[in-house]
Amino acid sequence: MLKERSSRLARYESTTDQEKERAVLVGVRLKGVSSWEAKDTLDELGLLADTAGAVVVGRMMQERPRIDPTFFVGKGKAEELALLAKDLKADVVIFDDDLSPGQSRNLEELVEVKIIDRSRLILDIFASRAQTHEAQTQVELAQLNYMLPRLTRQWTHLSRQAGHGGTTGGIGTRGPGETQLEVDRRALRSRIGSLSRALDHIVRHREVSRKGRSNVFRVALVGYTNAGKSTLMRALSGADVFIEDRLFATLDSTTRRVFLGYNREILLTDTVGFIRKLPHHLVASFRSTLEEVVEADLLLHIVDVSHPACEDQIGSVLEALDDLGIADHSTVMVFNKIDLIEDPAKKSAMNAEYPGSVWISASRELGMDELRSAIYNQLEQGRVALRLKIPQAEGKLLADLRKAGEILSIEYEDNDVHMEIKLSNQVAHQLLPHGKYHTTDVAG
């Protein structure tokens, strides 16, 4: 079912509004959440629905002290939702939060249209966007983890059959249903295990690839989805990178070699964007892609500074980075889309809050020199200049040093090589453990 829908969603650009599914959005504002924040997250759900190929025909927002365990919004509101969906001829109702299997079942029986939650919607988008084998594997793993606790919904007819006639069981009724359910669960768990092993293999392959380029400074683009990361990737690298003005335009990480000037090169990686309420199982499934972020020497946190909720988006990204254990990673804040800022005071306020930030317009390639300079300064901060005395017999070490560092001077004396070299602290520790062959730092 998911694959069939994903195939259809992949062609949503060519459909008309009459051909799209008609969606009603439902959000709940709990105590402590501002009305503006609740509206903004529902607006974002509308963008997700549009990305998935639906047209939003109605919205419903409810204030509650807590979530109703049976109908999520309470039975009275669910009945009101059923009438709204019928009046608007809705095909699907999309909830802005995750529903339990029981809540989904109860709502579908009462509202009588398809009910999906935010996680299911994002999964559908991811399924339609996954292009590479890795992304497809990650999406399928996330889908199966989502489906596993919901398997019982597919076998409710057997439980009703078992209870027919006032009995709680009976020969040939209860057993087959439970057996089939367990068979399906085992099949799903087996497939999940297989996919997890496949992703582990991908991660190991990535690690081998990274070792081959470990001497190159690695920079990762992070940010809220649709902040302009792919546009910046194209502006810096000149590479043909897929760009589209929709949420989750791309899922696959893309790495390009970028010449900074100053006789320096970096490896620049673009990854999937973050979003509010990004389900944890999706983050876990995309861990192999996000490894590029974890292993990076520098993060460029791209922010759509023209967005009215840009500070909330910054908070969502920082929360995701904290989940990955890299909230304290070396980071440069890059405020993008400066050509769309209407309030001139905003730049002063953001500069005061985020000193050292860089302001650009990736689409118009404004501020690119300043950004390259900021990356170069970060690269240089992690480099040290050393004087070394190395026996000429250490041919492999000498070759590795030439590849990894910048030779400032070199002289040959007897059987030794005297050199001044600038290289990263990390590489210095790798190639010259315990200060081996190290004489002194180069002044300045």
Domain boundary residue, one of 346, 363, 380: 380
227: domain CATH number is: 3.40.50.300
Given pLDDT bands bounded at 50, 70 and 90, which one contains residue 1? very low
- Which domain does 423 fall in, by range? 383-441
Q: Which pLDDT score is estimated for 159?
A: 43
Q: Which pLDDT score is estimated for 167?
A: 44
Q: Please, what is the average pLDDT of the chain?
A: 81
Pairing of strands 92-95, 21-30: parallel
Burial class (CB in 10 A: 0-12, 13-18, 19+), 235: buried
Asked if the model's pLDDT at residue 430 lies above 70, the reply is yes
Reduced to 3 DSSP states, what percent helix, strand and coil does the chain have, rounded to the nearest 5? 50, 25, 25
Name the DSSP class of 307. S
Q: Are residues 12 and 97 in the same domain?
A: yes
Which H helix or E strand runs over 125? helix 118-129
Q: Are residues 261 and 309 in the same domain?
A: yes
Residue 286 to residue 140: CA distance in whole angstroms: 11
Sign for the CA dihedral angle at 135, 139, 140, 142 comes to positive
Q: Which pLDDT score is estimated for 183?
A: 80
Domain count, the chain: 4
pLDDT in tens, 238-291: 866 555 555 565 566 788 888 887 667 888 988 778 888 776 666 666 666 677
pLDDT in tens, 6-61: 443 343 334 455 678 999 999 999 988 888 888 888 998 998 899 888 999 999 99
Domain boundary residue, one of 77, 106, 129: 129
DSSP-based three-state secondary structure for 225: coil
Contacts of 443 (CB under 8 A, 6+ apart): none
Q: Are residues 373 and 388 in the same domain?
A: no
Residue 117 to residue 104: CA distance in whole angstroms: 8
Q: Are residues 323 and 424 in the same domain?
A: no
Q: Are residues 247 and 338 in the same domain?
A: yes
Number of residues assigned to the chain: 444
Q: Which pLDDT score is estimated for 380?
A: 80
pLDDT in tens, 102-159: 999 999 999 999 999 998 998 888 888 777 787 788 888 888 888 888 876 444 444 4
Which of 137, 90, 138 lies closest to 114 in space, CA to CA? Answer: 90
Measured CA to CA in angstroms, residue 51 lies from 97, 157, 234, 308 at distances of 18, 34, 22, 21
Q: Which pLDDT score is estimated for 441?
A: 62
Percent residues over pLDDT 90 in the chain: 34
Interval 309-318 mean pLDDT: 90
Q: Are residues 119 and 157 in the same domain?
A: no
Q: Are residues 371 and 398 in the same domain?
A: no
Q: How much is the pTM? A: 0.71
Domain boundary residue, one of 67, 101, 129: 129
Given pLDDT bands bounded at 50, 70 and 90, which one contains residue 161? very low
Q: Are residues 305 and 370 in the same domain?
A: yes
β-partners of residue 114 are 92
Asked if the model's pLDDT at residue 181 lies above 60, the reply is yes
Asked if the model's pLDDT at residue 366 lies above 90, the reply is yes
Interval 160-174 mean pLDDT: 44
Residue 278 to residue 283: CA distance in whole angstroms: 7
Q: Are residues 76 and 222 in the same domain?
A: no
Asked if the model's pLDDT at residue 417 lies above 50, the reply is yes
Q: Are residues 237 and 350 in the same domain?
A: yes
Q: Are residues 302 and 389 in the same domain?
A: no
Phi-psi label, residue 33: left if phi above 0, alpha if psi -120 to 50, beta otherwise: beta
319 or 334, which is more confident?
334
3-7, 220-224, 357-361, 395-399: least confident range: 3-7
